[in-house]
Amino acid sequence: MIRKTYILIILLCSLTVNPASAVQQTKGNYVDKFRQLDEILPTPNAYRNAAGEPGHSYWQQQVDYKIKVKLDEQKRRVNGSLTISYHNQSPYELKYLWLQLDQNRFKSDSFAEKTVAFGGIGRRGPNTVHAKDDKPAQISLNELRRQQFYDDVELGYEISEVQDSGGLGLPFVINGSQMRVDLPEALVSGGKYEFSLQFAYNILEENAVRARSGYEHFPDDERKGGNDIFLIAQWFPRMAAYSDYEAWHNKEFLGSGEFTLEFGDYDVEMTVPADHIVASTGELQNADQVLTAVQRARLKEAETAQRPVMIVSEEEALENEKSGTSDEKTWRFKAKNVRDFAWASSRKFIWDAKGYQQGGVDQEMVMAMSYYPKEGGDLWKKYSTESVIHTMEVYSRFTFDYPYPVSISVNGPVGGMEYPMITFNGPRTIWHEEDGSRTYTLAEKRFLIGVVIHEIGHIYFPMIVNSDERQWTWMDEGLNSFLDGVAGREWDPTIPWGVEPRDIIDYMKSDVQVPVMTQSDSVLRLGPNAYTKPAVAFNILREVIMGRELFDFAFKEYAVRWRYKRPTPTDFFRTMEEASGIDLDWFWHGWFYTTDHVDISIDKVYQLRLDTMDPDIDLDRRRKEHEAEPGSLFVSRNQQERIKTWVELNKDVKDFHDENDRFTPSNKDRSKYQEFLAKLEPIEKAVMNRALDEDKNYYVMNFSNIGGLVMPILLSLTYQDGSVESLHIPAEIWRKSPFEVSKLLVTKKNKKLKSVVVDAGWETADVDVENNHYPRQIIPSRIEMFKKEKDKRLEYKDLMHDIKTPIKKPKVKKYKK
């Protein structure tokens, strides 16, 4: 009864997940877990082929930018002029161009703001609570701070002077966080169009609004009025992507789904206070104008240094942040073939650098650099730039050489965010007021290394392998979380980096989730859905299903194929299959298109023995089996009560059946056996004789698939002689019976099976360990284990601080003599 109910639920789930499927099982409960994905995936075409690689007619647009921008520190405002060169490399004519105005997302009447539900999950977390029972409605102080910031500061772009290269004004329409520019005449395929505009906006306070960029104010700095760190991103009107599969990517920016843009070349001049240090996407063009001779010499020294060289030391930065200037400097950066551009500016920055001698032909030396205030302290000095380099070493092995001249980590108010060549990372030290020292915990050290690896990793995915973050967060976060785990484990395997299958089971077995293949703004919880679950899936693919050799080859092939191009999930799925020669449709379907989980149970193991067909042997075996069975309790108690049976009391009455039991072979049986032997072909006789001679053990193992997700069955077989063997049964065993399946195990005569464990190493995210054992075992729960032995972990001490604590003399208890 339970089974029928279960199957019905699974079927209903399947129908719900894929309501548009043209092919449905409309009778019975059979579910084809191995149905090919072709009926879900788009048809291959000339732009993206069936192998998952760019097709022979693949195209993408190119957009080049020239920007002059001024950072008005006093007003916390950006003023810029922008010239865009749009290269229409599509086969189509374009009558208009769409731009993204991401700063408009922060206007109080934006789509995103207007659709934040009171008491709902809202934008990056709920800040309001409905009135309930006797409690009034609630609004967070942060929400009020945000609203007050909105009241005090006008947000969003001011756009003006949209005009063509001849100075002729162009009509344009602003629609939320997007802008359409109508062209005087259609831009033909292969054509180029240049236009310009002026833009300005007030910079957000990141801690008030949370925008992946903005300023952070440090009121306690010695300089009157304090100082700011400016992280400038999504800061200029950017051309929307135009692709073969979605045409204009003009989906409104709602906050969760991030970005996808076109590749192009940038030439950017930033005018900032003269005492600011600027970190930026691109290569600095005018070092002799903005850096001192000493700083330039230090940068040269850093190219071949063993450890990071301080370009601006802590002492110099501290001195710098004490005063200000009304002078300005203009920094100029150029970046080639990038999909975005971001920068940071502050007089607080300490700056270190170390050359990463990568070799190869693409970019022989990459300058890894970190910019951080004193609040970053030794934590940043020691580990930020080194983490940047470690990331490139590992990621390049799995993908391609890092192609850009710089790779940067900047500390500011953003916890972690990525842009081409530059990342923003949040971890800081703890300040101890009593002695002015700064320390950090081991947990914070791990966090810094981890977040730098993750964000620098994003320069590969999606800044170079240009997936669409607005639609599919998992394509960059999932792949990158998988790879940051690889890099982390190669940093220090004693640290619990990355994700293990066990990390996702509480989420996957619950009824509060959505499939991974869900549009980014509709995902309920991006953490487990778009980061952890896909990262676990790739771990399992690599370690369990495909093996490292096939996985790594296919993964690299995907990265190389789509470097500087625009892959979709379909291209990833197809490449991984095509390059490895493994049909993974069942895996993609189960892990990415459903909310099933893994729960494989071993329900029963029974032994078989080959009959000889010889009645003198087989009937004697049956007799022994019968004698080995426990006798009747009834009869046993009669005997204990010394009740004499009729047979015992009447021994003189006997017949044939008292001398011959039912296991006695008859001549009729023997004749039948001889007849059987006579009919056997010589080959059949040889096979039978060999089997009888070997007398192997035959075990049948029954499994059930409770979670719905088909997976390989990883068996650990323990024999009576104490030996243990592993047996990996591929997931395809479920192909014709997705919920229950049996497997025959044949062992040598003296290899008697004692016990079987499914997924003994917790490699498949199986949510229930108890049903993985046959015979069943009492598995102590986590609490039972805890009660047995309390685990003492020491790595979370603030050892750097505690070690300086004066040693206290214990109070000596006095005892009476």
Partner 1 sequence: MFFSLLLFLTTGLSHQQKEAYTVVKPNKNTGKTEVIHRFYLHDAEHGFTAVMGKNVVLNENKEIQRLFADYVIKSFQISDSNGSLITANTVGHEIEGRYIWVYQEIANKLPCQLQVKMTAFHEIWAEHINQVNFEWPNGVKAARLTLTEAQQQLQIYNCDSINLN
Task: Please list every residue from 230 through 259 that binds partner 1, using CB under 8 A.
Answer: none
CB of 783 to partner 1, least distance (A): 5
Q: Cβ of 670: how many Cβ atoms within 10 Å?
A: 13
| Binding-site member from 44, 55, 126, 405 for partner 1 (CB under 8 A) | 126
**Quick check: 575 binds partner 1 (CB under 8 A)?**
no
Instruction: Give me the amino acid identity at 554.
Output: A
Residues whose CB falls within 8 Å of the CB of residue 749, separated by 6 or more in sequence, listed in order:
694, 695, 696, 697
DSSP-derived 3-state class of residue 550: helix
* Positions in 409-428 near partner 1 (CB under 8 A): 413-416, 426-428
Stated as kind and residue range, the H or E segment containing 332 is strand 328-338
**Quick check: 216 binds partner 1 (CB under 8 A)?**
yes
Q: 259 vs 558, which CB is nearer to partner 1?
A: 259
Q: 13 vs 186, which CB is nearer to partner 1?
A: 13
CB of 157 to partner 1, least distance (A): 24
Residues whose CB falls within 8 Å of the CB of residue 751, separated by 6 or more in sequence, listed in order:
697, 719, 721, 723
Q: For partner 1, which stretch binds (CB under 8 A), given 80-88, 108-116, 322-330, 789-797?
A: 789-797
Cα dist from 436 to 429, 445, 713, whole Å:
12, 20, 57
CB of 538 to partner 1, least distance (A): 19
Stated as kind and residue range, the H or E segment containing 388 is helix 377-398
| Binding-site member from 128, 198, 330, 519 for partner 1 (CB under 8 A) | 128
CB of 436 to partner 1, least distance (A): 14
Residues whose CB falls within 8 Å of the CB of residue 336, separated by 6 or more in sequence, listed in order:
265
* Positions in 457-476 near partner 1 (CB under 8 A): none
Q: 212 vs 339, which CB is nearer to partner 1?
A: 212
What's the full length of the chain, in residues? Answer: 817
User: Which is it for strands 753-758 and 713-719: parallel, antiparallel or unpaired?
Assistant: antiparallel
CB of 729 to partner 1, least distance (A): 24
**Quick check: 792 binds partner 1 (CB under 8 A)?**
yes
| Binding-site member from 548, 668, 690, 782 for partner 1 (CB under 8 A) | 782
Structure token pair of residue 760: 């003994």
Q: 113 vs 444, which CB is nearer to partner 1?
A: 444
Task: Look up tokens 């019905």; give the residue.
Answer: 8
Instruction: Give me the amino acid identity at 453.
Output: I
DSSP-derived 3-state class of residue 154: coil
* Positions in 679-708 near partner 1 (CB under 8 A): 706
| Binding-site member from 21, 289, 607, 781 for partner 1 (CB under 8 A) | 781
**DSSP state string for 71-127:** EETTTTEEEEEEEEEEE--SSS-EEEEEEE-GGGGGSTTSHHHHTPPTTS-TTTS--
**DSSP state string for 435-460:** TTEEE--HHHHHHHHHHHHHHHHTTT
| Binding-site member from 107, 210, 276, 354 for partner 1 (CB under 8 A) | 210
Instruction: Give me the amino acid identity at 424.
Output: F
Instruction: Tell me, by CB under 8 A, how many residues bind partner 1.
Output: 74
CB of 699 to partner 1, least distance (A): 27
Question: How far is it, in rounded angstroms, from Cα 738 to Cα 726?
Answer: 23
Q: For partner 1, which stretch binds (CB under 8 A), given 360-368, 395-403, 507-515, 733-741?
A: 507-515
| Binding-site member from 627, 634, 791, 806 for partner 1 (CB under 8 A) | 791
350 within 8 A of 313, measured Cβ to Cβ: yes
CB of 787 to partner 1, least distance (A): 7
Q: 114 vs 130, which CB is nearer to partner 1?
A: 130
Instruction: Give me the amino acid identity at 176.
Output: G
* Positions in 1-20 near partner 1 (CB under 8 A): 2, 6
Q: 206 vs 585, which CB is nearer to partner 1?
A: 206
Q: 142 vs 702, which CB is nearer to partner 1?
A: 142
Q: 124 vs 604, which CB is nearer to partner 1?
A: 124
Question: How far is it, in rounded angstroms, from Cα 13 to Cα 478?
Answer: 24
| Binding-site member from 170, 287, 430, 617 for partner 1 (CB under 8 A) | 430
| Residue 432, φ and ψ in degrees, nearest 5 | -105, 110
Question: How far is it, in rounded angstroms, from Cα 408 to Cα 428?
Answer: 17
* Positions in 703-722 near partner 1 (CB under 8 A): 706
CB of 162 to partner 1, least distance (A): 34
CB of 630 to partner 1, least distance (A): 27
CB of 474 to partner 1, least distance (A): 16
CB of 443 to partner 1, least distance (A): 5
Closest CA to 446 of 480, 517, 494: 494
481 within 8 A of 389, measured Cβ to Cβ: no
Nearest 10 degrees: Cα torsion 461, 466, 471, 476: -10
Question: How far is it, in rounded angstroms, from Cα 609 to Cα 697?
Answer: 6
| Binding-site member from 75, 95, 114, 124 for partner 1 (CB under 8 A) | 124
**Quick check: 28 binds partner 1 (CB under 8 A)?**
no
Question: How far is it, in rounded angstroms, from Cα 406 to Cα 454?
Answer: 17
* Positions in 137-196 near partner 1 (CB under 8 A): 137-145
| Residue 514, φ and ψ in degrees, nearest 5 | -125, 160
Q: Which residues of 792-801 are buried (b: 16+ CB within 10 A; e: fewer)?
A: eeeeeebebb
The maximal CA–CA distance of the chain, rounded, in angstroms, is 130
CB of 801 to partner 1, least distance (A): 8
Q: 441 vs 580, which CB is nearer to partner 1?
A: 441
* Positions in 579-638 near partner 1 (CB under 8 A): none
Q: For partner 1, which stretch binds (CB under 8 A), given 208-216, 256-264, 379-387, 555-563?
A: 208-216
**Quick check: 790 binds partner 1 (CB under 8 A)?**
yes
* Positions in 29-58 near partner 1 (CB under 8 A): none
Binding mask 724-763 for partner 1 (x = CB under 8 A): ----------------------------------------
Residues whose CB falls within 8 Å of the CB of residue 72, separated by 6 or more in sequence, listed in order:
78, 79
| Binding-site member from 447, 472, 551, 573 for partner 1 (CB under 8 A) | 447
CB of 511 to partner 1, least distance (A): 5
Q: 690 vs 782, which CB is nearer to partner 1?
A: 782
34 within 8 A of 732, measured Cβ to Cβ: yes
| Binding-site member from 91, 496, 761, 775 for partner 1 (CB under 8 A) | 496
| Residue 429, φ and ψ in degrees, nearest 5 | -90, 170
Residues whose CB falls within 8 Å of the CB of residue 348, separated by 6 or more in sequence, listed in order:
218, 221, 227, 229, 317, 320, 321, 373, 374
Q: 512 vs 628, which CB is nearer to partner 1?
A: 512
478 within 8 A of 534, measured Cβ to Cβ: yes
Instruction: Give me the amino acid identity at 742.
Output: S
CB of 32 to partner 1, least distance (A): 23
Task: Look up tokens 């203009």; give the residue.
Answer: 330
Q: For partner 1, which stretch binds (CB under 8 A), given 270-278, 443-451, 483-491, 713-721?
A: 443-451
* Positions in 515-544 near partner 1 (CB under 8 A): 524-525, 527-528
Q: For partner 1, which stretch binds (CB under 8 A), given 63-71, 467-475, 514-522, 783-791?
A: 783-791
Question: How far is it, in rounded angstroms, from Cα 123 to Cα 130?
Answer: 16
Q: 258 vs 557, which CB is nearer to partner 1?
A: 258
**DSSP state string for 776-792:** ---PPPHHHHHHH----
| Binding-site member from 783, 803, 807, 812 for partner 1 (CB under 8 A) | 783
Q: For partner 1, which stretch binds (CB under 8 A), given 31-39, 438-446, 646-654, 756-764?
A: 438-446
| Binding-site member from 510, 645, 720, 750 for partner 1 (CB under 8 A) | 510
Structure token pair of residue 710: 């088909």
